Amino acid sequence: MTRRLPRPLDPLGSFKLKVSLIVGLVLAAASITFWFGAGWQFRYALLAALVISLVATQVVAHGMTSPLREMTVAAGAMARGDYSRRVRATSRDEIGQLAAAFNTMSTDLEAAEKYRRELIGNVSHELKTPIAALRAVLENLVDGVSEPEPATLSVALRQTEKLGDLVTELLDLSRLEAGVLTLHAELFGVYEFLSDTTKGQPRVHIDVVPPTLSIVADKARLTQVVNNLVDNAVRHASSGADVALSVRQVGGRLLFDVVDDGPGIAPEERSRVFDRFTRGGSTDGGTGLGLTIARWATELHGGTIEVLDRSPGCHIRVSIPCN
């Protein structure tokens, strides 16, 4: 009800000016009442002046303190875990600015709480799968169902490696978001760097134009970008198909293109495929953190990463300044 009442002083940009106007309005209302009630008895004229002044003050000053009352109620709701409350911020004075800042804080806290819940749920889910598989292998060994043969132990090793990869990616992501990672730039050749980074990936075809191209960047962070993009492309490419990794210079930037012939990423999912734990509809067993880390590492270099149109397949481009 109170949120719909008019706030006639909202257009004013100063709280002091509002107080001055209210004081002036009270004096003017009292003076006018006394003027028209000059023929009345003094006590009646005084009573009428007080009533009219109070009514005028309540009407005009309503919007001055209502944001403070709304913020009090919203703060109480936030203490109980409800971050959806917002304050009407139509005033242009200091209280209106405070209300706008309060709404921004509420939005940020709501987003942080949503991220916290999603993170707990997703990490729990990601940890549960390899732990369950590892437990099943170990239980079979203990019960004598399986023998400690290389094939059986390799299954346990793969699940352990998957757990290790997930923990490493979570640590990298936490450092990136906390801003504690700094760049250690160095000059190195692009072709040699890609050859070393993709060693052990025989399906990756590298094309650097010109072959002598070099870049000044953090080799460790750029390795994360290339590894995550290549691993993602190899997982999604059709059996036996190559993954194209090409680099060329356009102006003062290097364009890294990773292309595969897999199912691709739907257009409606491309805007959020770099978010945490997003797999673009894939169920291939990835952690859903690789592309997020690639985006953060790219942005640390002042670059951009995007999904380009390609059918069939997927085309991801990373653009990084040469220096």
| pTM > 0.75 | no
Each domain of the chain, given as residue ranges in start order, spans 2-106, 119-178, 185-321
Percent of residues, the chain, with pLDDT higher than 90:
15
- Sequence-separated contacts (24+) of 185-190 with Cβ below 8 Å: 185/216, 185/217, 185/218, 186/216, 186/217, 186/218, 186/219, 187/214, 187/215, 187/216, 188/214, 188/215, 188/217, 188/219, 189/213, 189/214, 190/214, 190/215, 190/247, 190/254
Q: Which of 25-34, 58-67, 104-113, 178-187 has the highest mean pLDDT?
A: 104-113
- Please name the CATH architecture into which domain 185-321 falls: 2-Layer Sandwich (3.30)
Task: Supply the mean pLDDT for the chain.
Answer: 78
- Give the model confidence (pLDDT) of 72-129 as tens digits: 888 898 888 888 888 877 777 777 788 888 899 998 888 888 877 877 776 776 677 7
- Give the model confidence (pLDDT) of 133-192 as tens digits: 888 888 888 888 888 888 878 888 877 887 887 787 777 777 766 666 677 889 999 999
Domain at 119-178, CATH from 1.10.1060.10, 1.10.287.130, 3.40.50.10420, 1.20.210.10: 1.10.287.130
